[in-house]
Amino acid sequence: MKPGSYTKIYIQIVMAVKYKERGLSKEFRDEVFRIMGGILNEKGHKPIIINGVNDHVHLFLGMNPKYALSDTVKEIKRRASIFINEKGYYQGKFYWQHGYGAFSYSQSHIQRVYDYIANQEQHHAKNSFKKEYIQYLKSFEVDYDEQFLFKF
């Protein structure tokens, strides 16, 4: 960043796994999240929390404005997929679905978002990913077309 530029940009990214049978298994999920955090650190982003369940992941970060959000997501998906596939966690290939959700927050919401992401297992015992994601889109007043949503 250039001298005199100051930012605090908090973003939550939501990404979905392509095939549920090749999802983010509990056995290796934390390892994948650590890899994702390392990628964010390399790009100068500040990972706050990364968590998810079998079919999707939430990444909450302080965004480095030097990098485009789309490029950051692309790199995380690419490198996490390579990691999972090289480790041989599945007989088939691991893929992410196309697209992602990204939602911005103010400083005053950090703890609430952190707590929500930290408790994904408990949350999804009661609510589906589809319900959660559509609720995000509606609460952030994002115009969306059902045909282009994740395949839940």
Return all residues near 1 (Cβ < 8 A) that are at least 6 apart: 7, 65, 66
Average pLDDT over residues 119-126: 91
List, in order of start, the domains of the chain with CATH numbers: 10-148 (3.30.70.1290)
Looking at per-residue pLDDT, the higher value among 75 and 23 belongs to: 75
Buried b (16+ CB within 10 A) or exposed e, 105-118: eeeeebeebeebbe
pLDDT digits (tens, 9 = 90+) for 4-23: 888 999 999 999 999 877 78
Those residues whose C-beta lies under 8 Å from the C-beta of residue 15, and which sit 6 or more positions away, are 56, 57, 59, 73, 76, 77, 96, 97, 100
pLDDT over 90 (residue 67)? yes
**What's residue 45's pLDDT?**
97
The upper half-sphere exposure of residue 42, i.e. CA atoms within 13 Å in the direction of its Cβ, equals: 10
Residue type, 87: K
pLDDT for position 90: 85
Please state the rounded mean pLDDT for residues 52-79.
97
Q: Which two tokens stand for residue 10?
A: 């908090």
pLDDT at position 1: 58
pTM flag (> 0.75):
yes
Say whether pLDDT at 89 is over 80. Answer: yes
What is the average pLDDT value for the chain, to the nearest integer?
94
